[in-house]
Amino acid sequence: MDNQLIGEIKDRLSTAKNIVIASHVRPDGDAIGSLLGLGLALRDAGKSVQMVLVDGAPASFKYLKGSELITKEPKGDHDTFITVDCADFKRTGSIFENFGQPDINIDHHKTNEKFGKLNLIEADEVATAAILTNYLPAWGLTITQPIAAALLTGILTDTLGFRTSNITPAAMRQAAVLMETGVDMPEIYMRSLVRKTFPAARYWGAGLSSLESKNGIVWGTLTIADRKAAGYGGNDDADLINMISAIDGNKVGMVFVEQNTRHVKISWRALEAGIDVSQVAKHFQGGGHAAAAGADIEGSLSEVQKEVLKKTRELLNL
């Protein structure tokens, strides 16, 4: 713990009145959980808080209390700008391009560019929500049951239900602390990791039928046509990467998601301890941590897939 930094953040939060908190595009469970966890805690402390996700809150996380408060753009004046679970400032979205430097940047990705005035980056933590679990009380903020539910969602989703290679005893203790507020962990687990909408299940079917495996890598491909055929409204992989990560006999799992004719999103997962997929994502100007990483690459699906698979093998010696 950097006591000086923790103290500086506490002082900054205590003087803040109008706060904007943002996370990354195509938000996952840790982005949602961290945003809500910090945002609701600051609201409870009497602050005016705007919680912003340019893509909005995914339907799968709208059961979380406070999710209805999330907006797609900030409005009015603010005196404090915070980012959570965002390694690269550009990933907050284009609406923040001229918003100014964040006052506080809280994240757990080892590739974080430390773009804030105050940067709390703890790459050994399994989720940004885990960092907030540790420090909200130190900042004089109370972890109520709705806040605990949000933070537990972040920890559960980023560890795939405590299945990633970076899981630690500390993460289990953090979950226990959050459960002691009365949150129902089995229910959160089911809602955030298991249950799928019918369109998402059909979308998964397209991705699973595309699976390929070679040289220790297993990967799936999702096209724009697949999304349209399934009736899936998002532009992500509907967490297909979690299913691919459960396939035995491989070292790395990947999903390629076509965004448009010249843009592809890639997700990597390390399926063995000791493999650091963040270095591959960083090569493609992406980010993440050792167990999970992602990048957005310009180019056609076929071009990007060929180049990314080649570089993944090279950088990870597969």
Cα four-point dihedral sign 249, 211, 240, 236: positive
Reading the chain (318 residues) residue by residue, the pLDDT tens digits are: 688 999 999 999 999 999 999 999 989 999 999 999 999 999 999 999 999 999 999 888 999 999 999 999 999 999 999 999 998 899 999 999 889 999 999 999 988 999 999 999 999 999 999 999 999 999 999 999 999 999 999 999 999 899 887 889 999 999 999 999 999 999 999 999 888 889 999 999 999 999 999 999 999 999 999 999 999 988 889 889 988 988 999 999 999 999 977 899 999 999 888 899 999 999 998 888 888 889 999 999 999 999 999 999 999 988
Question: Which H/E stretch holds residue 288?
Answer: strand 287-288
Cα four-point dihedral sign 1, 104, 70, 88: negative
User: What distance in Å separates the CA atoms of residue 106 and residue 194, rounded to the nearest whole number?
Assistant: 28
Task: Judge if pTM exceeds 0.85.
Answer: yes
SS3 content of the chain, % helix, strand, coil (to 5): 40, 20, 40
What are the residues facing 294 on neighbouring strands? 267, 287
Determine the angle formed by the axes of helices 169-179 and 145-158, rounding to 10 degrees: 150
